[in-house]
Structure 1
């Protein structure tokens, strides 16, 4: 005989809820810190003992809890943050379900002491509203919550906890994320009566970067770029690491939506796409980014821990993130050493350059020989012409080289020195040595020229129509009706990139035309991948990435090779082009194209002044 249905006791209900909310001590800290931030706190103190299993104490200077609400705070789904459905659809607070406190109280010995302005302090203890005991207590403005003996009454859960050190590391990571998400809040963290971290409130960019450096390390700040991008009532700002600071794993990726740390595959995909042209294979970008948007555009109630969100207009958000980060990376160019602007060159320098620079078409005419033989049956005549055109790179687009005469290279005779300085020699037929205002720059000439050629090819292709060729025998492909409908709806995307598709049945398509540069690509797999991206993310860069891959190969074959002797004017022309070319800090494969050694660093090598 089956058991009868009956109502579960409140204590059991709360413990079941705790299984969703509280995984380990770090989960408790996250929930309590979010409550402190929602209360408007500007100072939060966190005291931990034995990795959080013995004690978690969080003290804040927020608005406090009213005496009459202290016992109610231990009741499930009791909250001051949501009143109606409209509030639920416009959530601005970090917490909103009212599950955290009763869930934590059901698996620990918890007490809450709080005091509001113009009021006395009170303390509540208990595991739920029915057992709560409220009594007067001395306390400053704000709230202190103590959680002792976590999981003391749920031994099965306690057995799954790791060592004290491991649990504290997880807990510390939570505090770091909170410190990054709210720069204006002072946060201190102590473990076993020892101060581990103390972040003072940061109210300007310099102090914010100091806090980021304390969390992510000085190297991140030194090799990152601040960005701010706004469009379509969305704002993205924060710090993105240069490709040279890529990581072997995705362990330094902090993304906040309206102040809430999230993990989202749409966001990860958009960022990855933005870095694709500059990141070495198998590496991961690092970033601390903040997305601000109307709360109605994001559903933060998609997961019990609130780590995952659901964007109501996923395609819009994906494209916005991609465009913003892509543009920010493109704008990273060699920093001006004297003038502050990479493109600014004095009128005197321009006058010198206009007289001394000779077209490179003659001097670099041999570059095309390095591209290797191109067979007509492997690539179209039009592509061959593109290779030849870009291989014979002329200096008509390269602003100015400095003459090799030492007297004319004297920096005192010039108003300003360009960011990458002036070439003085070529090393082993591979590297360009350049003297800058601050020291010395070394440039990988092939990698740099490869990026310049590649960016010009992309730009020219974007400005003109993408050449396509019809297939003698159309490619038939079978797919789901949902995918076929999507392909029909998104015809414009494929047409723009040189594809012509038509519907041949409820679950079939025909590919009739493809871009010339993708003549050797697997067109069917590419179309399937694009449709998969459109279904998952609302957009796709697969075709454009495939085109860029081909262009990158062409640029590689068409760029100046190692052991190619360059004159001083040719080397300076390459430096000037690097200063005006997007993403010139990396080659097409993500490797760095140049590095700088300051005069101070060089002096230290030789112990000058010691």
Structure 2
């Protein structure tokens, strides 16, 4: 068959297939045109998810009748003042998408430039059917009707109106997030679904994701060379089960880029559980010469000249912002959580009920199981803190002797100055003063603004991990040789993995040797872990390497190994702590990065504000 030139209407439909896949694609092009026209407010109306109708009204610069005619021709644009297509600074090319949309739908454009008369043109599936004067304020109104009505092959692949509306809503949210200085309104089948006014970037992100993000996020402002990273990032404990709240922008353009998504995952990789995803809105700004925005017809993907620089900027910027968050943790108190606090079902002193009447003259004022709802709340006296028999030489070598960590042993937390039982909480101690312990697992502390509960194992686990990282950054973790080396029996493949990574493990203080085909010999452990259960530690490390060794970089593998070691070396639930030990833990948490969540992404502490406590007792 000889080569032939395709007819104009077929060329337009092929172009439409590249740009207009569904109603959301057409809506994206129309809203981007409105933004590029300098609009301050944009109104969007949808019918049946955009399948039956899409209308976009803006108060931008408008178009003259001749420009309107050119806008409906292919490859006509006002967005390229010269031929430098690689230096485009707008979201798209006005006129590029309009003829494609007009070739598969009925499209009506009404526009008026300031100081001129309005004009209207209607094109039905590629054919001009009407034009003439139009009465409207300065700006542009574009209406798309019956999308793909005459293209059955495309129409049958459209989803339900509800699903198409969801895709349209996602498009509007991303564009509205990119331009917080513009007001957006979205109506669907006569009902207002979204309305935002011009506001700050952080406020716009919170308005379009979760209002609680304002107090559960950190601001990002990081510069490396000519590349700047801004935006907001949710605290690790303020996360979601799916990655639907991750918004990425390059030079104000919403994109979905694997490099950027992978960078976000790397930044949070040791702060979140594997099934949780952070809430982030990141804005990367760089010279147009350093990024190619024309690698995708819809411009939803970009290509960076130096991808490693951008990845490092995102990971470094996110980590720096999260490090600065210190001990902060998301603290939402839901109605369901408050409802779990119940009054005792039995009044005090019910005859025949064992333990129903507490002995108020007892040393603690009450006894466990007294029916007060707390169950095993145990006030702890100020007995002397645990102290090892002799100083730890490895800690002295690290210059830590005398600090709150100078008494870390296998099962003891650091000791500190004993806090009198009558000490008054102050704002200088946001995690409060220790008052007792629940079930030998949770620390009860009184803060100046409420009640704090701390998971002692989760909190200490994070503190040990951060200390290991500091030691590694300073030249390596100090080791403690075992008096009698221990033998751990494993599968041969597990031993092979551990033997391969032995130099990396040695950097973190764990010295292993191969001991036959199916065993490993443990000669030394990190000094800060004390006499933890080393056999379980090595077994878990072998499992970690099997699951993640190939997929992660060296730095990420080291973080996983350090987290596993920290878990084995931290104080366990069920350990009785003295008041000085509890207070030392609280003070260390207040000055340690990421102490608001454990190594698995779970919160280490929660706070019940005074107002919430008052609600429990019906005072509010």
**Residue deviations 1:32-69 (CA, integer Å, cap 9, x gap):** 00000011101011112222222211110011112211
**TM superposition shift of 1:519:** 10
**Residue deviations 1:541-596 (CA, integer Å, cap 9, x gap):** 72122222222222222222222221111111111100111110111222211111
Structure 2: gaps (5+ residues): 330-381, 480-502, 508-524, 527-536
Change (3 A) 1:39 1:241: same
Aligned match of 2:580: 569
Distance in 1, matches of 2:453 and 2:121, equals 66
Aligned match of 1:597: 608
Distance in 1, matches of 2:13 and 2:388, equals 75
Distance in 2, matches of 1:553 and 1:285, equals 22
Change (3 A) 1:129 1:552: closer
Q: Give the number of the structure whose residues are more often helix, by fraction.
A: 1
Q: Does 1:64 align with 2:62?
A: yes
Change (3 A) 1:126 1:519: same
**TM superposition shift of 1:130:** 8.1
Query: 1:76, 1:98 within 8 Å by CA — same for their partners in 2?
Result: yes
Describe how 1:69-468 pairs up with structure 2 within 5 A.
Answer: 69-86=67-84, 88-96=85-93, 98-126=95-123, 131=128, 134-202=131-199, 204=200, 208-209=202-203, 211-334=204-327, 362-363=386-387, 393-394=405-406, 401-406=417-422, 409-411=423-425, 416-464=427-475
Equivalenced residues, count: 507
Q: Give the CA RMSD over aligned residues.
A: 3.6
Query: 2:245, 2:279 within 8 Å by CA — same for their partners in 1?
Result: yes
Greater shift after overlay, 166-175 or 39-48?
Answer: 166-175
**TM superposition shift of 1:134:** 4.2
Which TM-score applies when normalising by structure 2?
0.74
Query: 1:50, 1:164 within 8 Å by CA — same for their partners in 2?
Result: yes
Aligned match of 1:6: 4
Query: 1:367, 1:559 within 8 Å by CA — same for their partners in 2?
Result: no
Matched residue SS, 2:555: helix
Change (3 A) 1:270 1:401: farther
Distance in 2, matches of 1:149 and 1:240, equals 40
Query: 1:303, 1:309 within 8 Å by CA — same for their partners in 2?
Result: yes
**Residue deviations 1:257-286 (CA, integer Å, cap 9, x gap):** 111111111111111011011111222222
Greater shift after overlay, 125-134 or 38-47?
Answer: 125-134
Distance in 2, matches of 1:247 and 1:601, equals 24
Which TM-score applies when normalising by structure 1?
0.76
Distance in 1, matches of 2:566 and 2:389, equals 15
Distance in 2, matches of 1:126 and 1:106, equals 8
Distance in 2, matches of 1:240 and 1:276, equals 14
Describe how 1:487-502 pairs up with structure 2 within 5 A.
Answer: none
Change (3 A) 1:281 1:359: farther
Matched residue SS, 2:601: coil
Query: 2:9, 2:126 within 8 Å by CA — same for their partners in 1?
Result: no
Change (3 A) 1:158 1:435: same
**Residue deviations 1:505-540 (CA, integer Å, cap 9, x gap):** xxxxxxxxxxx9999989xx99x978xx8xxxxxxx
**TM superposition shift of 1:140:** 1.0
Distance in 2, matches of 1:402 and 1:62, equals 67
Aligned match of 1:556: 567
Query: 1:74, 1:127 within 8 Å by CA — same for their partners in 2?
Result: no
Greater shift after overlay, 326-335 or 168-177?
Answer: 326-335
Matched residue SS, 2:237: helix
**TM superposition shift of 1:201:** 1.5
Distance in 1, matches of 2:89 and 2:556, equals 37
Change (3 A) 1:140 1:289: same
Query: 2:249, 2:282 within 8 Å by CA — same for their partners in 1?
Result: yes
Distance in 2, matches of 1:110 and 1:96, equals 18
**Residue deviations 1:429-472 (CA, integer Å, cap 9, x gap):** 1111110011111111111111111111111111115899xxxx
**TM superposition shift of 1:220:** 3.6
Aligned match of 2:371: none
Change (3 A) 1:467 1:133: farther
Change (3 A) 1:447 1:67: same
Matched residue SS, 1:70: helix
**TM superposition shift of 1:216:** 1.5
Query: 1:71, 1:134 within 8 Å by CA — same for their partners in 2?
Result: no
